[in-house]
Structure 1
């Protein structure tokens, strides 16, 4: 067989091709994901035009044509150029948000006592920031101050009636302050109670297991609004006159109980994901049940279910708006109540207020989500990166 009959062998080298664009560059990423084919290119252009048009219009409505200063609803019907818009849709009315800002934050809390919620907010941020930084020292002391001392101090300082402080009824509390108080206490209480309920549901003791299952299934079977309604309306019927529990405390208990039941199932999922060898290895070391759970099992289980835990926290933070059923007004409740203010009664006012409330809720939820991702990456030791 001659060499000319071997058709599968090349007779000459291929010409060199230009080096491909790196997928890490913006151009390379765009060619691969947005313009890989003619159909992809057309789709990208169409949706790109729509997104740009919407973004430009939204930016103009939110910032350029918006009204930032002024008093009364008349200013919200005036454009930047001075023309009158009868429908009031020229731009956002941030002057209304500025006028109601204090009420959005603290509700009807006495204005001469605003230093009390401001002080609690400063202490909260000052204790939370080092708690979130992994390299910050004295985590134990920081956790004690943040999770135990601060809630007690906030209750004493905000409610008053002690140490010469004027008493402020919880019915005067409102706005973002109520949202943060309910969600923070719910988070602090629901995580340990959820762990206890999850362990109880997996217990070998029939009474403990049955009680835990019954509690979890009962609470998860009803909506939060029902729990709050029962805590507000039905609970006082079982109390003797003069022993009525404060409405805000009832809301705290209802939210904490509801969140604990959901947290228990999240933790139980993490416990079930732990290999049996971890339990057997702990038993072989002669550890007691609680030593095994605290030192070996629970740290691994919690690490596995961090997304579920944070998801429960985010849901609880948003569900605090349901306290309006018991005549308590969080941020969203105060925003909705402001729509009836005759001095700001314009078509654009409700939309501006809802956008402001939505942005505040998104800011906190997005912050929790990003910190959750940071913790996951820091604790992920299963793969080298």
Structure 2
């Protein structure tokens, strides 16, 4: 029998070395695993590299290497006056930059535009940084106080009626329009072949107008008493602030959430009051600058920001209305969404600008920019409604049933449980619509509103800067501006989406 010793289990020869593992990280790993790991990927990589070479390199050469950076007129950007190939004419952008930002806004009043931009940035930053406190007050200042301040900064003028006065006048005008339409139908019924039908319809419209007259009587009475006071502006302001603060407190649920809503409302009205006093809006205010003088980046930001801010609430309301169990609300929401989604934005802008005044009473006019803003808000709101409806459909039915079992009302279930989850699901779709809207603002130039691209095209007519590279330089500059804003919205949406979905990461 062979003796077994411990040395019999010990290997005396070393194993052969294994090949080094294939590197899968870094640039070399990317090239090995993604770019050159198959004949097809090798071909696509070569084609992509050639495409980048023939697009990015000439662009950089035109915009940076061969560009002209200084000059007083077109002669600096002409080829025959240079010993090299002339690229972008940046002196043209420097000369036309005020026009591209402000349009035809008076130069002496442009500080108001700058102040509006600064206020917007200062109020928006606290909302975009998640860790900063007092989001309710910041939101109230940005979404409620800032639009009022921005309007009087950009447009000018003074305050004749802050809330009750303006609301009562609008309701009275609406009521008078309904009554006049009913009276017109009653007048036609005397000579028309369908007199009975016109008489019935006219009588119903007049009856509706009379009912509205009784409903709005408290507003009219309150407005008349406010105007009889010594300080109608501040009396109107105080009454409006009291009504809004009380409403916010009640809708907020009383003590607790209602107290926070009350604090936000008080802070908002306090900020507005300070601005009214500092700007002298109760004594005539700033000089009026008509909207037909606005232009450039100012109009682009006003149209896009207004459309983005107003379209989301409209879309949420329509999405909830489309899921409503009340037939009238559901049918109205469906009809509204399908109508606005079935027409192009150009048609909406033409109708809002040129056709809408024909349907308004003779003593009521709406500014051209405001008409475009209303059309864009309604148009974009219809698309946002479908985005939000998709998010609502993704929420399991058990969420609502669990909330009902806990005794929550429909409003609290929707606002606290269902809607936040739905909006989190559709963040990419919402931001995609926002980016599309920001770029579609260039369409307002067809209705005589000079946005960034409209002001750019208007600057091309200046013979002082007429060169072969002027148009290319201008459109490249506008493209860079659009890319910065759109890319910023895209990256921030990814940040928000990543943060809200942190609980799902393993």
* TM-score calculated relative to the size of structure 2: 0.70
User: Do residues 114 (structure 1) and 115 (structure 2) align?
Assistant: no
SS at match of 1:114: helix
Offset from partner CA, 1:27-51 (integer Å, 9 cap, x none): 1111111222456445534542552
Using a 3 Å threshold, how does the CA distance of structure 1 residues 22 and 248 change in structure 2: closer, same or farther? Answer: same
Stretch moving more, 361-370 or 159-168: 159-168
Matched, 1:194 2:315: yes
- Structure 2: how far apart are the matches of 1:284 and 1:40? 56
- Is 1:253 matched with 2:249? no
CA shift in 2, pair 1:42/1:227, >3 Å: closer
Whether 2:224 is the aligned partner of 1:103: answer: no
Residues 32 and 199 from structure 1, CA distance in 2 versus in 1: closer, same or farther, beyond 3 angstroms?
Answer: same
Aligned to 2:400: 279
Looking at CA atoms only, which structure, 1 or 2, has the larger radius of gyration? 2
Q: How many Å apart are 1:243 and its aligned residue?
A: 2.0
In the alignment, what sits opposite 1:83? 83
Shift of 1:72: 1.7
Match of 1:64 in 2: 65
Deviation for aligned residue 1:78? 4.3
Contact persistence 1:279–1:297 (CA under 8 A): yes
Q: Deviations over 1:167-213 (max 9, x none)?
A: 10100001111111111111111111111110000000000000111
Q: Distance in 2 between matches of 1:217 and 1:314?
A: 22
1:77 and 1:84 in contact (8 A); partners too: no
Q: Retained in 1: the 8 A contact 2:345–2:376? A: yes
Find 2:481's aligned residue among 360, 380, 384. Answer: 360
Against the structure 1 CA distance between its residues 233 and 49, is the aligned structure 2 distance closer, same or farther, given a 3 Å change threshold? Answer: closer
Structure 1 unmatched runs, 5+:
1-11
Instruction: Tell me, yes or no, if structure 1 residue 48 matches structure 2 residue 169.
Output: no
Structure 2: gaps spanning 5 or more residues: 1-12, 159-279
SS of match in other structure, 2:24: coil
1:126 corresponding residue in structure 2: 122
CA contact 2:387–2:426 (8 Å) conserved in 1: yes
Match of 1:147? 143
Give yes or no for the alignment of 1:137 onto 2:138: no
Instruction: Tell me if structure 1 keeps the 8 A contact 2:66–2:84.
Output: no
Contact kept in structure 1, 2:67 and 2:90, CA below 8 Å? yes
After TM superposition, give the deviation of residue 22 of structure 1 in Å: 3.6
Alpha-carbon distance in structure 2 between the residues aligned to 1:228 and 1:54: 36
Residue 378 of structure 1 pairs with residue 499 of structure 2: yes
1:306 to 417, 420, 427: 427
The alpha carbon displacement at 1:133 in A equals 0.6
Q: Distance in 1 between matches of 2:473 and 2:454?
A: 15
Does the 8 Å CA contact 1:21/1:27 hold for their aligned counterparts? no
- Match of residue 289 from structure 1: 410
Tell me which protein shows more helix as a share of its residues: 2
TM-score normalised to structure 1 length: 0.91
Deviations 1:35-76 (A, max 9, x none): 224564455345425523543332221112111111221111
Report how many aligned residue pairs link the two structures.
Answer: 369
2-structure distance, mates of 1:354, 1:248? 24
Distance 1:84 1:324 in 2: 37
In 1, Cα distance between equivalents of 2:355 and 2:408: 46
Q: SS of 1:335's equivalent?
A: helix
Instruction: Output the CA distance in 2 between the equivalents of 1:108 and 1:100.
Output: 11
1:184 aligns with 2:305: yes
Matched with 1:3 is: none
1:369 equivalent to 2:490? Answer yes
Equivalents in 2 of 1:13, 1:50: separation in Å?
52
What is the alpha-carbon root mean square deviation over aligned residues?
2.0
Q: Aligned equivalents of 2:48 and 2:309: distance in 1?
A: 44
Partner in structure 1 of residue 37 of structure 2: 36
Closer, same or farther in 2 for the Cα pair 1:47/1:300, shift >3 Å? Answer: closer
